[in-house]
Structure 1
């Protein structure tokens, strides 16, 4: 159905060939939730949130709140998660994997929220079998394709990854700088190289 253009919902195709359906969140905003179990995993916590931000931006969703926590999955006093669940303006919560929320029973929680017109989305259900860096690059490639068009999207995605690794998480400003970097690289590659002439005395 994708090849014939008859898919009944908005979707896009990643460089790997994966077809991603552009889920439209229920009326209201989106909340992002990241969690690790110990302080030693702080870098992973940042990577989680970065992936969630990129995914939400690539889908064109309005993020109204975020929560990052260092707590075990069995900890029932996670204030960040409670804050997102209690916020009635948040209709969709995005997490990296189901076990960021619960050790088991994620689908039941999702069903309970759906009965209230809300839901939880786990990225690993859409990007299984990929490492973090590959998935991030694919997400950014999709984002750049939507903003700038398919041509040159891959180069802009790589430039965006470099900026995000430098700690720049402002997607709009980072994408502008990534576009400039990609253009500079393309111009540099197109410049004719001067031939060196050996002079013998």
Structure 2
């Protein structure tokens, strides 16, 4: 996979303007290569000062709804305690939103950090804290960009049936929220009833 980016991406990565990037290049502060069409390309690891060996540990916590805010704080405390025990300094990223939502701010920030070689390890309490569907894609990115994935409760992974029940409930919750509104009585009643049914089946 190419490690080269254009002027705009380099500016976003370093938090400066494109004019600054061009000025730094002209002064020799950073180096670039040119494509056949004459476009500048910058090496990410050089821009980051060889931060491909970065020691940043990111802990990521997520819950699906505002009703689970207390659980989010407990999740964050478990992750923080684990990292402290290991002697790792870390950055905590918290998200509040469905595991089917790929546009959460925290998740987007996490992906950007991984894809710019800034994350040495990613720590999760459970695998599904990233996404209900698609977490394997994030793990593949971690492998490509040299990020270790640590899942604290790997030994407590749920069964296939439990995962299936949770996935079905997640899908129904998302679509019923869109139909009735996430805070409506009808939506909450429907989700509660479906949870009870799922518990009996699985």
TM-score range, shorter chain: 0.3 to 0.5
Please give the TM-score of this superposition, normalised by the length of structure 1.
0.46
Structure with more of its chain in helix, by fraction: 2
- TM-score normalised to the size of structure 2? 0.46
Q: Greater relative contact order (Cα 8 A, min sep 6): structure 1 or 2?
A: 1
